[in-house]
Structure 1
C-alpha cells in the first residue's frame, strides 16, 4: 500500500499539470465569444482558472464544515485537522477566486470590484472567514475554548456557501450567470464545456492532494508536540 504522502504528491503533480494544460487550452483552443455582448471578449478566458478555483474553494469550506461539526460532536484530533486543512485551503483557493475575478472585472467592467454585487461580496466574506480562522489558529493559545470558537466560525462560514453559489440566480448585478455562450442545448459551447470540465477535474486532483498532504503534516506536527510534552514532563520529574 502506498504511503499517503506519496499519493498526495502524485495527486498534486497530476492536478498541477492538468491545470496548466487547461489554462493553455483555454487561451489557444477555446472559441471566441460574441464581441457585441462583451466589452473585453478575450478576457473571458480567465474563467478556465477562476471557475475551478471557486469550485475547489467550496470543497474546502465543506471540509471545514465537516471538521467543525466533528469537533463539536466528537472532540477528535482528526476532526480538528480537517478544520486546519479546510481553513488553509479555503484561504488558498478563495484567494485564487478573488484575485482572478478582479482581473476579468477590470477588463470587462472597467473596475476590479463592484460592492453592490452579491456574488462578489459573499465570496470575499467567505475568504475573510478563512483568513480569520487561519490567523486565530496561529495567534491564539491552542485549547478547547479556542477550538470551539474557531469551529463556530467555520460553521457560520459554510452557511455562506449556498448563498454564494446561487447568488447570481437570486440577484444578478454585474457578475455573469452560468451561461457564457448561447446554445440550444446546454448554454455552453462544447469546447468551452470540455476545457472547463478538464479544469474542474485537474483542480479537484490538486485539492485532494493538498488535503491529504495537509492532514499528514498536521498529524505529524501533533505527534511531535506530544513527544515534546513527554520530554518536558520527564525533565520536570528528573
Structure 2
C-alpha cells in the first residue's frame, strides 16, 4: 500500500472530525443574532456554517471536472479521465449539500426555499446539473472514446458557469446575500463567525481531498479489473 493510500483514512477522519467541531461551534458557540441584525429568522443562520463551506468546496470539484476533462480531451489521459469523473461525482455530492441546506435557510429567512429570479441560485443549480449529467453519463453509458469526448466537452464548457456563479451576487444581487468578504463597503463579518466558517471550509477541504484520493483509487482498480476480465474472455 502506497503512502497516498495510507493517508486516505487519516484525511477522511480528520476532515470528518473537523466537521463535527464546526457543527458544535455553529450550534453552541456561535453568537446569537439579535433582533436588529436584519434577519427574519435569526437562529436559522447557523445552518450557513455548513452551507458556505459546502459551496466553497464544491467549486474544487468543478475545477477537477474541468481539469480532468481537458486532460482527456487534449491528451487522452486515463488519469485525467478518472480525475474528471471524480470531480463530477464529488462536485455533485457537495452541490447537493448546498442545494439542501440553502433552501432550508431560505424557507426560514425568505419564506420561500427558492427564488427563480435570482441569478446566483439558478446558475449554481445548472452547475450542479452539469455534474449530475457527467456523473450519470459515465455510470450508465458504454465506456467509449466518443462518450468520454462528449462528457468531457460538457464538463469543460460547464465550468464557465463557475465564475458567473461566483460573481452573480456582485453583478446582479437579488435575494441571495451579497459577499461578506471583498464585497465593498457594506461587506464584513464578525471575526468569530469567520473563524468558524474557515474551520468548516478547511475541514471539508481535507475531507474532499481524502474522498478524491479514494475515488481515484477505486476507479483505477475498476479499470484494472475490467482489463483482467477482458483478457480472460479473449
Deviates more, 1:130-139 or 1:207-216: 130-139
Aligned twin of 1:11: 11
The yes-or-no answer on 1:108 pairing with 2:98 is: no
> Considering only aligned residues, what root-mean-square deviation do their CA atoms show, in Å?
1.6
Aligned twin of 2:225: 224
The yes-or-no answer on 1:208 pairing with 2:228 is: no
CA distance in 2, matches of 1:226, 1:78: 16
CA distance in 1, matches of 2:20, 2:177: 24
TM-score by length of 1: 0.93
Aligned twin of 1:159: 160
Aligned twin of 1:32: 32
**CA offset at residue 76 of structure 1?**
1.2
CA distance in 2, matches of 1:20, 1:164: 28
CA distance in 2, matches of 1:97, 1:131: 14
Q: Which runs of 5+ in 2 are unaligned?
A: none
Aligned twin of 1:69: 70
CA distance in 1, matches of 2:89, 2:83: 10
Aligned twin of 2:130: 129
TM-score by length of 2: 0.94
Count of equivalent residues: 230
CA distance in 2, matches of 1:190, 1:165: 22
Q: Which runs of 5+ in 1 are unaligned?
A: 234-238
Alignment of 1:18-97 (within 5 A): 18-36=18-36, 37-97=38-98
